[in-house]
Structure 1
Amino acid sequence: MKKIWIKIVLLLSLSPLTAQEIGQNLFKAGFENVQVLEEADTLKVFFEYREFRSPYHSMRYAGLMLQDETEKALVWIPMHHNRPIGNYVAGSDRFFQLSQAEREFYRSNNSLSSYRFHFRINPDFSARFGYYSDPFQIKFNVVLDSRIYLAPGLSLQTGISIPVRNNLDAQDTSPRLAPSMIHYFTQPVNSHFLAASIGSFYYDRYGFDLQYRYAPLDSRWSFGLETGLTGFYWMNAGSFYSEELDAFHAVADMEYRLLFENLTGKFSAGQFLFGDKGARVDLIRQYGTVDIGLHVAATDAGVTGGFQFAFSLWPGTIFRTKKLELRTSEEFRWEYSYNNEDPVARSYRLGMPRLDDVLRQYNELFVQSLDGRH
């Protein structure tokens, strides 16, 4: 009889994890809003993981945790900004669009209380080179901000900006409110993505920003439109100055993922931030969690060229509990353009990645390339 009980205990200890246990284990590892849709031979795992830029790395991390804990096939459904993106089949990284049943499951089980309160450390860096009397001018702030989800797909992002060095402009070195906004993201129909922001942005802009993108994530092609109405604002210790919302921009683009080396070509045209009309061409190479790009642009304000890069900051998570997390930014992005006189084809950063930069990470061909399948 004793041997029988020992066998029962061993079998129970080796039994596959339940959906609830999977959710609990992933949450302890930093995953948020974990929901598990259990089917006859498949587990579909919804989750958001904000430390990594690429969903591949979060899916890989989850897979390593669960590889021996379930007998069912795993399908990952990563979320961005509290919205599910699509299905990635574990082991093949094949992408499939969301079904109506999956959307209904998400709507019924989505939990805003399943997110930690994140504090994010994010550097803010601007530079100008070659000025005769001061050839290396920089403006460097450290931003400590947070994002709070208010409703499905809707968040408030705000924080504090702490100046470290500034010999670029006349702004003082007193701490000030960081760019703060209400941001909404959704995928109302498969492959169609919308993002809207209202508030203050980087490059001393405030106003309204709207983005739309048609991006089938199993395709080489995607198309987008960005538009907005912004004005200039300026903050110093004890003072605030703003101008009218008078800068309208509208830029359309098309992207094509080339057949080799994770290269993407992007062509943009329209009216840019300061009213100059023209076009810009980008060539972007993705190296895992790092993007490096070159660009050239020509508008009626002149011609320019430059480079950009984006990567996750080390060390990632610094401190984590069930309710709180302190981490470095999942994306630090910096762009430099050379201009003789007026700014050419200029834009501004929002404080979170733009749709094209986000969705490029979710493209099936890129995800498979990281696992050596493409």
Structure 2
Amino acid sequence: MRNSGISLLFIFLGLSLKAQEIKKTLWKQGFENLIIQDKSDSLKLFFEHREFRNPYHSMFFAGMILEDQDDLEKNDIKWIPLYHNQHVGVYDAETYKFHSLDAEEKNFFAKNNNVFRNYRFNFRLHPEVVSRYGYYEDPFETKFNVLLDTRLYLAPGLSLQTGISIPIVNSLDNQGMKLRAAPSMLHYFTQPWNSHFFSLSAGTFYNDRYGFDLEYRYARLASTWSFGFAGGVTGFYRLYGLEYYSESMDNLYGVADVEWRTGIENTSLKLSIGQFLYKDKGARLDLIKQFEAAEIGLFAAGTDIGVTGGFQFAFSLFPGKILRSKKLELRTTEEFRWEYTYNNEDPVARQFRIGMPRLANMLRNYNEAWIKHLSRNNNQ
């Protein structure tokens, strides 16, 4: 009996040392909130990597880093990528088959998730570009700022995003060229029940808006369908350096949508209906195609103030990591998203922008079919 206890102790110590070695190796490569559930026949790795827009790239990168680890091939390995300090789902390392976390996995994560110890101070550089075309005297009017912001985790799923906005050029409006605060907000992300995602934000946003924003999305990530709703109340604000001007917060918006993954060339159709950002009521249809490193979409919209169409795209900005130490990282943004609409006068079916991707855009990259497609391409 005594010898059996000693053997179990050595097995436990061996697993613990292996887990610490894996954590140390991955931390150096930019992974954060590393939590490892290591058993004799399996390994479950919880992690976050804020440099990657697509979670498959973080899983593939982790696999490349760990492929030389001794005895790792004997384990049943599961990847559990995190987003804003919360779990999204579980992917098998071999097949990338998806399933939601079970009660044991959720409890293990809750006990080991430490928002104060498990993250670097992470600073992000990204551009803000607003353009208008077509005026005879000034055919190309634009406002271009560079934002330096950071996200501080305050509690599980709860974070504060803030930073500074550095004006580069402005021929669009009279906001001026003074240094000012970037959009800053409290943000809460959670998945209280499997496949039910919530995002709540309060603060200052893009489009010169401040207020409250709530998103809900039902997305079974092994399914071709998802449904969502976004709504809130906002008002207009403007910063001139340290000078602040605002109007009453009385603009309500609410938009419901349904998205279908067609199965054809990694495209999705998304129909949105409701009252949009500038109180116009109507509908918008998006056709979205996913590429390994980018996303491109076409859209058409009609509301009670007009009709429009255009395109949008999203991708990670080069070079990603600029500077990384044990407790500090400076990088470019994981997602730069920009949209062009041919109707530059009337704000038809404008979508609301907060300081992170909307749930539909984020969860699209976690879909099992998309992850498996990328895996097959990399294995060819």
TM range (shorter): over 0.9
The Cα shift of 1:341 comes to 3.8
The Cα shift of 1:23 comes to 1.3
Tell whether the 8 Å contact from 2:309 to 2:341 is kept in structure 1 after alignment.
Answer: yes
- Matched residues in 1 for 2:208 and 2:192: separation? 31
Given the superposition, is the C-alpha separation of residues 356 and 103 from structure 1 closer, same or farther in structure 2, using an over 3 Å criterion? Answer: same
Tell whether the 8 Å contact from 2:268 to 2:289 is kept in structure 1 after alignment.
Answer: yes
2:76 matches 1:79: no
Aligned equivalent of 1:99: 102
Q: Which amino acid aligns with 2:20?
A: Q
Report Cα offsets for 1:85-104 as digits up to 9, x if no partner: 11110121111111000000
Given the superposition, is the C-alpha separation of residues 359 and 97 from structure 1 closer, same or farther in structure 2, using an over 3 Å criterion? Answer: same
Give unmatched runs, 5+ long, in structure 2: 1-14
The Cα shift of 1:348 comes to 2.5
Aligned equivalent of 2:171: 167
Aligned equivalent of 1:368: 372
Aligned equivalent of 2:149: 145
Aligned equivalent of 1:322: 326
Given the superposition, is the C-alpha separation of residues 154 and 272 from structure 1 closer, same or farther in structure 2, using an over 3 Å criterion? Answer: same
Aligned equivalent of 1:285: 289
Q: Which amino acid aligns with 2:86?
A: R
Paired residue for 2:339, among 332, 335, 340? 335
In the TM superposition, structure 1's runs of 4+ consecutive aligned residues that sit over 6 Å from their partners are none
Give unmatched runs, 5+ long, in structure 1: 1-14
2:286 matches 1:276: no
Q: Which amino acid aligns with 2:245?
A: Y
- Tell me, what secondary structure is at the counterpart of 1:197? strand
2:46 matches 1:46: yes
Tell whether the 8 Å contact from 1:191 to 1:216 is kept in structure 2 after alignment.
Answer: yes
Tell whether the 8 Å contact from 1:93 to 1:368 is kept in structure 2 after alignment.
Answer: yes
- Tell me, what secondary structure is at the counterpart of 1:230? strand
Tell whether the 8 Å contact from 2:288 to 2:298 is kept in structure 1 after alignment.
Answer: yes
The Cα shift of 1:338 comes to 2.0
The Cα shift of 1:340 comes to 5.9
The Cα shift of 1:336 comes to 1.4
- Tell me, what secondary structure is at the counterpart of 1:362? coil
| Identity percentage of aligned residues | 57
- Matched residues in 2 for 1:108 and 1:314: separation? 36
Q: Which amino acid aligns with 1:77?
A: I
- Matched residues in 2 for 1:131 and 1:267: separation? 32
The 5 Å alignment of 1:118-137 reads 118-137=122-141
Given the superposition, is the C-alpha separation of residues 46 and 132 from structure 1 closer, same or farther in structure 2, using an over 3 Å criterion? Answer: same
- Matched residues in 1 for 2:342 and 2:103: separation? 48
- Matched residues in 2 for 1:288 and 1:64: separation? 18
2:249 matches 1:245: yes
Q: Which amino acid aligns with 2:289?
A: R
The Cα shift of 1:117 comes to 0.3
- Matched residues in 1 for 2:264 and 2:206: separation? 34
